[in-house]
Amino acid sequence: MISSCLAAVSRFVSGVSVSWHCDPHGGQQRIYFSNHTSHLDFIVIWSALPSDIRLNARPVAGRDYWNRGRIRRRLATRVFHAVLVERTHSCPGDIATAARISVERMARQMGSRDSLIVFPEGTRSVNGEIGRFKSGIYHLSRLRPDVELIPVYLENLNRILPKGEALPVPMLSRVVFGERLETGPDDSKDEFLEKARAAVIQLSRA
């Protein structure tokens, strides 16, 4: 009940229109990967999914933000069932080790049923431009080659809840789900990341 209400409120506040270029009810596990401009991003993607798919779609989010306060923590763990990870900029010591541990946690938390919502840029864009993708999604896809990679483009969320703001401003937005990203086992990390980023950019023109 709570999740359904939150999904409805999210769709109302964001005024979101949803476009699908893949089967919205695809039964296979998926990694939905998107551009990142707002704290609303994962909520809007999550709320745009069909209710039966939403049940097993888990956003990946920074532990430092979503563990800050009882309400955020409860929403993250009890409603969104988020996979909370340590963001590398908040980890002292070996950043590469912290990143590897986070990716391994994501792969493990998917189990045999759940899908993930991830943001490969790693941080929110200030100007709405899609930045370079970090390597986490590449390593995650190699750990879970059995899942579908679905690009997602979000438009206008940076205006509804800009970085640094606490309250959303109701406005129209758009979320576009693309076709499955086709990658090859011989793709290098750089080739994979550029292909994934290009797929999101292409949806911005759809």
Structure tokens at 33: 């990967």
CATH, residue 110: 3.40.1130.10
Cα Rg for the chain, rounded, in angstroms? 16
Domain with 128, as residue range(s), is 2-203
What strands, in cross-sheet order, belong to the sheet with 16-20? 16-20, 173-177, 148-155, 30-34, 115-118, 57-62, 83-85
* pLDDT at residue 89, rounded to an integer: 54
* pLDDT at residue 153, rounded to an integer: 96
* pLDDT at residue 135, rounded to an integer: 94
* pLDDT tens string 82-128: 999 887 655 555 677 888 889 999 999 999 999 999 999 988 877 77
Number of compact structural domains in the chain? 1
* pLDDT at residue 66, rounded to an integer: 80
Q: What is the pTM of this model?
A: 0.89
| Cα separation, 72 vs 127, whole angstroms | 26
Chain centroid, CA 125 distance in Å:
14
Q: Which residues of the chain have pLDDT under 50?
A: none
Distances in Å between the Cα of 166 and the Cα atoms of 39, 106, 135, 172 are: 9, 28, 30, 18
Distances in Å between the Cα of 124 and the Cα atoms of 1, 41, 112 are: 30, 10, 30
